[in-house]
Amino acid sequence: MMTSIQAINIAEGIVPAKSDKEYLQAWQLLVDNGQAWKLQGWFGRTAAAMIEDGLIRATEKHED
């Protein structure tokens, strides 16, 4: 199971994702646990764009 730190590192490009699926899983984890909205602004903007594009899903807690 991916940790938040691993997901952040993948999202930032510090650690390359092994696949597109892993990249999206990292972002989904950050949305699901709320970290996407607490980190630097670009995390939230990127997550919101990915949700809007249908690449990942919003969680009930963060849906508008």
Q: What is the pLDDT of residue 53?
A: 98
* Spatial separation of the C-alpha atoms in residues 40 and 37, rounded to whole Å: 8
What digits encode the pLDDT tens for the residues 5-32? 999 999 999 999 999 999 999 999 999 9
Q: What is the pLDDT of residue 61?
A: 63
Q: What is the pLDDT of residue 60?
A: 74
Global pTM value: 0.90
Percent of the chain with pLDDT over 90: 91
The pLDDT-based confidence of 63 (bands split at 50, 70, 90) is: very low
Exposure string for 4-32, b = 16+ CB within 10 A, e = fewer: eebbbbbbeeeeebeeeeebebbbbbbbb
CB 30 within 8 A of CB 8: yes
